[in-house]
Amino acid sequence: MRAWNRVLLGVWLGAMVVIAPAAAHAQATTGTISGTVTDESKAVLPGVTVQVRNVETGAMRALTTDARGGFRALNLAPGIYTATAELQGFTTARRDNLTVEIGRDVAADFSLKVGTLTEQVTVQGAATNVELSSAVAGGVVTTTQIAELPLNGRSFMQLATLQPGVTVSRATARDFTGGFGNTQVSIGGARPEMTGYLLEGTNISDISDKAPSSMAGVLLGVDAVKEFSVQTHDYSAEFGRAAGGVISAVTKSGSNTVHGAVFEFLRDSKFDAPNFFDPGGVTPPFTRNQFGDTAGGPILKNKLFYFGSYEGLRQNLSLTRLARLPTAAAHNGVLPTGAVAINPLVKPYLDLFYPIPDGKDFGDGTAEMRHTDIDPTHENFLVGKVDWQIGATDTVFARVSSDRSDTTAHQEHPLFVEPTTTDTRYFTAQDQHLFSSNVLNVARGAINRTARTDDFIATVDIPRNLFFTEDPHFGSITIQSGVSGVGSTATTPVNYDQTLFQFSDTLTMSTVKHTMKFGGDVQRYHFDGFSYSRWGGEFRFTNLQNFLRGSVNRFTGNLPGTDTQRNMRQSYAAFFAQDEWRAANDLTLNYGLRYEFVTIPYDLENRVAGLLSFDDLQSGPLGVTPGSDFFKNPSKLDFAPRLGVAWKPFGRDATSVKAGAGLFYQPLTTSFYRGTTFRIYPYFAGVDIRTVPTFGPAVQQLLAQGTGLAVQKRSEFIEYNTKQPYTTQYHASVQHEVGRGLIAEVGYIGSRGYNLPFYGDPNSIPVRLNQADGHYQVIPGAALRYPDWGRIRTRINIARSWYNGMTASLNRRFLNGLLFQGSYTYGSSRDTWSGGQIGGSDFENGAGSATDWWNPQAELGPSSYDVRHTLIFNAVYQLPFGKSLSGAAAQLAQGWQIGVIANYASGIPFTPLIGFDYAKDLSSDGTLQKPDFAPGRNGENTIVGSPDNWFDLNGFVLPPAGEYGTVPRNSLRGPDLRVVDLSIFKNQKIGAQNLQFRVEVFNLLNRANFATPNSGALFNADGTPIPGASQITHTATTSRQLQLGVKFVF
């Protein structure tokens, strides 16, 4: 099968070279200046010489108007341009201050008067700021917004949310490689991993297909980024490998003038308000220093330029965490339910790992322990870029960047820390060749690497005789009734290292009515990794009482010989054809077709296996086919049509009506199979032991002997006949210029998702619908579907999604010292599952996997990232003070500037869970079963609204014995979010230089923006409610924080 994949890939690559020697991301980094030249009577003028010049670099493009008087300067780097139009017998016309942005077509019409060439008429700016030719929904975050708006952490990716249709996925904190606090977004209702991230047109999405980030939870380099675009819906066939939106950034370049900056930013807890959960209302110690510089200029004027940037981050962050631990009475075997004889095997673990808590007593033998710890973080970001204008027809650039970070994060349990390092390195080189004024080619190559290493370390010495296995890492102890877990997670220690090799090439041809693009893109994935996967073993107990007794519910571990090292390889290829047809003066059609193909991933040592059929689990010694393909390739016919319309009604440039629709695929690359590849049988020899006669190291001896234990194999699989995930997108909007530089837009966006990843354990006792009460009931007397197996979590592409949204925005471009933008989105996102792309814990507000893998429709509900209302406003205003003053008074009064970002977002949904296998379906995911609502209660009237008790526990009851509850997934809503960030700058001119003093206040109103409650377990194993299960234990944002900064700009 792998040979067939290579043959098919070769055929398509050959077709790409012959048919379409082009690439997929040209417009991802450039813009266009176009227009029509007429005389005073509005008659078109062919043969006019139009020259477009980059003010900063002197780069020149010469064009001649066609028979309709039109011209198009394609693939212009973002920046400020001047355009002139000359024709014998007419005066020369000139337009200054034409701002080219990523993906924007700048209108630059000319009206020539009869006269001589030496006479010149100059006009400022574009003819209109309305987008008249593109049907794509989205916008651009400008240089001014990036540099001047307040950014907590100085991560420019936060600004993606300024665009309508973009919402923050506030619940992705569990995502293993997707940011740890960095802004993860849902665009147009798509899953966060369906957003594509491009830098200089090359793919920089992380291993989880999320926004690149670091251990500081930020994406540094804000001073190195010139601007970035956010395409939210119906982008053209040029773009692919993302079924949601596309975020595309470009770095700055040098110019004919030496420019740069030196900066320092300081954060200190002395300036901050205490967090709502800080003990005693005292702010824990916190310091952060961010410092660096940028410099760019000419090596050879008008020919060769350099740009470089460095930023360092040094942080000591103190966080208050809440652990739930056994009380002093419990340590003596005294529980509210009665005395318990503590098992001598348990006693040393109880004494070592469970310090006596001193906080709120929950009345069930546990109490709260607040502990404040310092998490140190170091990061270094570096970028270097060289641009070379070889001649009138060739421009090349090369850019290299590096971002290395490390941190040591304390855990909820006070005795464990997680050291982590990340290392990202990006290299891109590009050649742009102009065959003629209307034919242009861009070739681009890139090598992008993302690496991450995690460990898990105890802060106390653990005697070797307490280890459960021979592995050098201690395992874990889980008490399902809400007690804080002990030991490592299911996957740490772990290391991931992915290198992406990419080549693309784009050919653009422009005629009188058409701008045609043909392109192709080839990417090669090298993914090398290791995952711990419970080598140290995990003991699980249903409640605190059973833990004290040593009554084990389940042991999970690995047999000797388990191998979780993988070296995966995979290829991706795509090509497209796209045309922009100016069908009439007031109508433009955009249509195209894209084809995408991926090969089946394989391991260099052939350590993968395919589950060809679930029937195979009931036959043969293994139940799987070692060495077979991971899954059957679903991408061989992935053709994606795109269609867009831009109409200029009333014959005026002030209004544009846009609509579009398209099909968008999400290729099955590393993020889809990464978690599974480490845990696939027989190379991963994991076992579940449901009947465990002992606790502690003795389990290893019994396991080796195979005596008296019901051992079941454990694995993960991907459905062999997997389907290709894709979305259909459609939108319509009206854009109108209501004043100079002021654009209003209203629109509708919608999408449907098909064949999306769904995740769960199919190995459970079968269920049936109980017609009498509407519950699904475990069939009495039935056995596990696959009795020789334990947990066999499996990904199957069967989920669906539905999104409908209304958007409105008002945008004023920077003019006369004022810029502002307001965006509102009303959206409704529903699906039958929200995660499953990277693993079972994509969202901390949702269940890790489905209750019943065989019934995905039962999981229908709001998406875990569903935000109904999002309102965000941003502005930069240069205060007009002191213009009439002089001397010292002028120095004091002038140069003041404010920036603001105000954000409101409604609450995200979450799912209340029973917390143990109440229905006794024997699934490994039995703890994820849902309760029933109490009579008369629902998702709205159950909410109390207090952080100590966000919802009423009495609003839920256990379903009838042996049945699943009927509370829908994501049926409750968490708190809303309201944040105002403010910056105040003082710009002090020193000759041609500027010394800028900055004060930035984050969460100015000091609002406690609470996260969702930890509702993972509502009931103890005896059916009694768990006190504190509805409590919120942390905030989604910081309290009010102050940042001081100084920047010298030269």
Residue 218 CA to residue 120 CA, distance in Å, equals: 49
Read off the pLDDT of each residue in 468-497 and give the average, rounded to a whole number: 86
CATH of the domain at 62: 2.60.40.1120
Q: Is 986 exposed, middle or buried (0-12, 13-18, 19+ CB in 10 A)?
A: middle
Residue 733 CA to residue 658 CA, distance in Å, equals: 5
Residue 886 reports pLDDT greater than 90? no
Spell out the long-range contacts of 856-860 with Cβ–Cβ below 8 A and sequence spacing 24 or more: 856/758, 856/798, 856/799, 856/832, 857/832, 858/776, 858/964, 859/799, 859/832, 859/833, 859/969, 860/830, 860/831, 860/832, 860/968, 860/969
Q: What is the pLDDT of residue 311?
A: 96
pLDDT tier for residue 725 given thresholds of 50, 70 and 90? very high
Greater confidence (490 vs 472) lies with 472
Q: Is 688 exposed, middle or buried (0-12, 13-18, 19+ CB in 10 A)?
A: buried
* Helix, strand and coil in the chain, % to nearest 5: 10, 50, 40
Residue 318 CA to residue 370 CA, distance in Å, equals: 12
Angle, CA 617 vertex, CA 611 and CA 620 arms, to 5°: 105
Tokens matching residue 918: 């109440």
Residue 73 CA to residue 34 CA, distance in Å, equals: 6
Q: What is the pLDDT of residue 14?
A: 42
pLDDT tier for residue 154 given thresholds of 50, 70 and 90? confident
Residue 6 reports pLDDT greater than 70? no
Q: Which of 638, 672, 648, 645 is nearest to 660 (CA)?
A: 645
Greater confidence (792 vs 12) lies with 792
Residues facing 642 on adjacent strands: 592, 662
In a domain, 493, yes or no: yes
Residue 530 CA to residue 603 CA, distance in Å, equals: 13
Read off the pLDDT of each residue in 1008-1020 and give the average, rounded to a whole number: 86
Q: What is the pLDDT of residue 13?
A: 40
Q: What percent of the chain has pLDDT over 70?
A: 92
Q: What is the pLDDT of residue 10?
A: 45
Residue 857 CA to residue 498 CA, distance in Å, equals: 35
Q: Indicate the range of 124-138, 181-195, 325-339, 806-820 predicted with least confidence.
A: 124-138
- Contact present, 473 and 491 (Cβ < 8 Å): no
pLDDT digits (tens, 9 = 90+) for 556-583: 888 877 888 999 999 999 999 999 999 9
In a domain, 916, yes or no: yes
In a domain, 164, yes or no: no
- Contact present, 733 and 746 (Cβ < 8 Å): yes
Put residue 568 in one of left, alpha, beta given phi > 0 → left and psi -120 to 50 → alpha.
beta
Domain range spanning residue 1036?
292-328+345-1049
Residue 956 reports pLDDT greater than 90? yes
Residue 5 reports pLDDT greater than 70? no
Q: What is the pLDDT of residue 660?
A: 94
Q: What percent of the chain has pLDDT over 90?
A: 59
Residue finishing a domain among 83, 99, 124 = 124
Specify the amino acid at residue 146.
I
Greater confidence (408 vs 535) lies with 408
- Work out whether the CA dihedral 11, 13, 17, 19 comes out positive or negative: positive
In a domain, 188, yes or no: no
Q: Is 368 exposed, middle or buried (0-12, 13-18, 19+ CB in 10 A)?
A: middle
Q: What is the pLDDT of residue 16?
A: 38
Specify the amino acid at residue 646.
A
Q: Which of 131, 137, 92 is nearest to 229 (CA)?
A: 137
* 3-state SS class at 948: coil
Tokens matching residue 526: 């090298």
CATH of the domain at 781: 2.40.170.20
What DSSP assignment string belongs to 147-193? HHS--TTS-GGGGGGGSTTEEE-TT-TT-SSS-TTS--EEETT--GG
Residue 700 CA to residue 689 CA, distance in Å, equals: 12
pLDDT digits (tens, 9 = 90+) for 331-388: 999 999 899 999 999 999 999 999 999 999 999 999 999 888 889 999 999 999 999 9
| Residue whose entry in the numeric block shows the structure tokens 């919608």 | 750
pLDDT tier for residue 181 given thresholds of 50, 70 and 90? very low
Residue 464 CA to residue 458 CA, distance in Å, equals: 13
Q: What is the pLDDT of residue 89?
A: 87
Q: What is the pLDDT of residue 180?
A: 36
pLDDT tier for residue 127 given thresholds of 50, 70 and 90? low
pLDDT digits (tens, 9 = 90+) for 200-232: 999 998 888 887 877 776 778 899 999 999 998
Q: What is the pLDDT of residue 928?
A: 86
Q: Which of 438, 448, 359, 366 is nearest to 400 (CA)?
A: 448
Q: Where are the beta strands (DSSP E) in 599-725?
A: 602-603, 609-610, 625-626, 638-647, 655-665, 686-689, 711-718
Tokens matching residue 776: 């699904």
Tokens matching residue 427: 């290299």
Residue 263 CA to residue 259 CA, distance in Å, equals: 14
- Contact present, 428 and 445 (Cβ < 8 Å): yes
Greater confidence (942 vs 773) lies with 942
Residue finishing a domain among 91, 124, 157 = 124
Q: What is the pLDDT of residue 28?
A: 64
Read off the pLDDT of each residue in 1011-1030 and give the average, rounded to a whole number: 86
Residue 683 CA to residue 619 CA, distance in Å, equals: 18
Full-model pTM? 0.88
In a domain, 917, yes or no: yes
Read off the pLDDT of each residue in 702-726 and give the average, rounded to a whole number: 76
Read off the pLDDT of each residue in 989-1009 and give the average, rounded to a whole number: 94
In a domain, 429, yes or no: yes
98-134 in b/e form (b: 16+ CB < 10 A) is bbbbbbbbbbbbbbbeeeeeeeebebebbbbbbbbbb
- Work out whether the CA dihedral 534, 539, 540, 544 comes out positive or negative: negative
Residue 708 reports pLDDT greater than 90? no
What is the chain's Cα-based Rg?
A: 30
Read off the pLDDT of each residue in 260-273 and give the average, rounded to a whole number: 95
Q: Indicate the range of 133-137, 319-323, 549-553 predicted with least confidence.
A: 133-137
Q: Which of 108, 107, 80 is nearest to 227 (CA)?
A: 80
Residue 754 reports pLDDT greater than 90? yes
Q: What is the pLDDT of residue 840?
A: 44
Q: What is the pLDDT of residue 839?
A: 46
Residue finishing a domain among 124, 158, 174 = 124
What mean pLDDT, rounded, does the chain reach? 88
In a domain, 489, yes or no: yes
Residues facing 36 on adjacent strands: 70
Q: What is the pLDDT of residue 770?
A: 87
Number of domains observed in the structure of the chain: 2
Residue 270 CA to residue 251 CA, distance in Å, equals: 35
Residue 704 reports pLDDT greater than 80? no
Residue 855 CA to residue 859 CA, distance in Å, equals: 8
* 3-state SS class at 438: coil
Q: What is the pLDDT of residue 133?
A: 74
Q: What is the pLDDT of residue 836?
A: 61
- Rounded to the nearest 10 degrees, how much is the dihedral formed by the CA atoms of 796, 595, 576, 525? 60
Q: Which of 740, 856, 880 is nearest to 798 (CA)?
A: 856
Q: Are strands 565-584 and 554-558 parallel, antiparallel or unpaired?
A: unpaired
| Residue whose entry in the numeric block shows the structure tokens 């009869």 | 114
In a domain, 190, yes or no: no
pLDDT tier for residue 705 given thresholds of 50, 70 and 90? low
Greater confidence (675 vs 85) lies with 85
Q: What is the pLDDT of residue 726?
A: 97
Q: What is the pLDDT of residue 387?
A: 96
Tokens matching residue 313: 């981050």
